Amino acid sequence: MKTLAIYNVKGGVGKTAASVNLAYFAAASGLKTLVWDLDSQGASSWYLHGQPGEEKTKKVLAGETPVGRLVKPTPFENLSLIPADFSYRYLDVMLKKVEPPREALRRLLKPFSETYSLAVLDCPPSLSHLADNVFTAADLILVPVVPTWLSLRAYEQLRDHFKAEGFPVKKLRPFYSMADRRRGLHRELLEAPPEIMSARMQAVVPYSSSVERMGERRAPVAAFAPSDDAAALAYAELWLETAKALGV
């Protein structure tokens, strides 16, 4: 099983949208896929029809319940979900009790390798202990970057964190998210990407009303939009690049 994380210290940059859409394409390609909604706000749980808030994660971390009990089916073939859990507010504290403390999430994921080919971690926007667990567990970390200087700076700070903490920087792959070609700055940064974006995915996720509609449809874009929808095509392309990078 490969583990893909979608991470950015910033909120509202398209992490959850990418998690759900990429997981959908992975599942549609025949890979048994598990989305773990690690954000207590539960946005990917909402899109995938999960019920958040059962507080079971605490028991799993205490070793009282097997981690497999957290998994729920979704309406989509080959796609399962671990919904967000309100007990995530304790997650940082709980993970710190495990030795070695950065390995807890990797260990929790281990039993799933018998059933799943891909785990997708939809991450909360914070540089926490949980984030360090994600950086350890993930084979690849996609970082949505809105084409603005502040977003680029946040990505640079993440790379600095990786270097300082000894995480492999090559796990990090940025991609442009919510790109709006009507804006001058977006166009400039898309046409002449700064050096820091050299390892980026080539797919660019456009600013799109169909992504906004996911909340109302409770489905990935490709499940309801026309087949030539620009965002659906961008996520399809991003998935192909991601699959290649993961070797799945």
Ligand X SMILES: Nc1ncnc2c1ncn2[C@@H]1O[C@H](COP(=O)(O)OP(=O)(O)O)[C@@H](O)[C@H]1O
Instruction: Give the binding site for ligand X (CB under 6 A).
Output: 11-17, 43, 178, 205, 207-208, 211-212, 231
CA distance 150 to 159: 14
Subset of 30-49 contacting Mg ion (CB under 5 A): 43
Least Å distance, CB 103 to Mg ion, is 24
For 166-170, the CB contacts below 8 A with 24+ separation are: 167/132, 167/135, 167/136, 170/199
- Kindly state whether residue 16 participates in binding Mg ion, applying the rule CB under 5 A: yes
CA distance 204 to 190: 9
Least Å distance, CB 107 to ligand X, is 25
Which residue number, 67 or 222, has a Cβ lying nearer to ligand X? 222
Which residue number, 62 or 185, has a Cβ lying nearer to ligand X? 185
The option from ligand X, Mg ion, none interacting with 17 (CB < 5 to 8 A, set by class) reads: ligand X
Range 167-202 burial, b when 16+ CB lie within 10 A, else e: beeebbbbbbbbbeeeeeebeebbeebeeebeebbe
Least Å distance, CB 139 to ligand X, is 20
Least Å distance, CB 205 to ligand X, is 5
Which residue number, 67 or 155, has a Cβ lying nearer to ligand X? 155
Which residue stretch of 12-20, 30-38, 46-54, 169-177 sits at the interface with Mg ion (rule: CB under 5 A)? Answer: 12-20
Distance of CA 143 to the CA centre of its chain: 8
The option from Mg ion, ligand X, none interacting with 231 (CB < 5 to 8 A, set by class) reads: ligand X
The angle subtended at Cα 35 by Cα 138 and Cα 5, nearest 5°, is 25
Which residue number, 160 or 212, has a Cβ lying nearer to ligand X? 212
Most distant CA atoms of the chain, gap in Å: 54
Least Å distance, CB 9 to Mg ion, is 12
Which residue number, 8 or 242, has a Cβ lying nearer to Mg ion? 8
For 156-165, the CB contacts below 8 A with 24+ separation are: 156/196, 157/9, 158/7, 158/8, 158/9, 158/127, 159/196, 161/127, 162/135, 165/132, 165/135
The option from Mg ion, ligand X, none interacting with 211 (CB < 5 to 8 A, set by class) reads: ligand X
- Kindly state whether residue 15 participates in binding Mg ion, applying the rule CB under 5 A: yes
- Kindly state whether residue 10 participates in binding Mg ion, applying the rule CB under 5 A: no
Nearest one of 148, 204, 150 to 174, comparing CA atoms: 204
Nearest one of 145, 196, 190 to 169, comparing CA atoms: 196
Least Å distance, CB 39 to Mg ion, is 5
Binding site for Mg ion (CB under 5 A): 15-16, 43
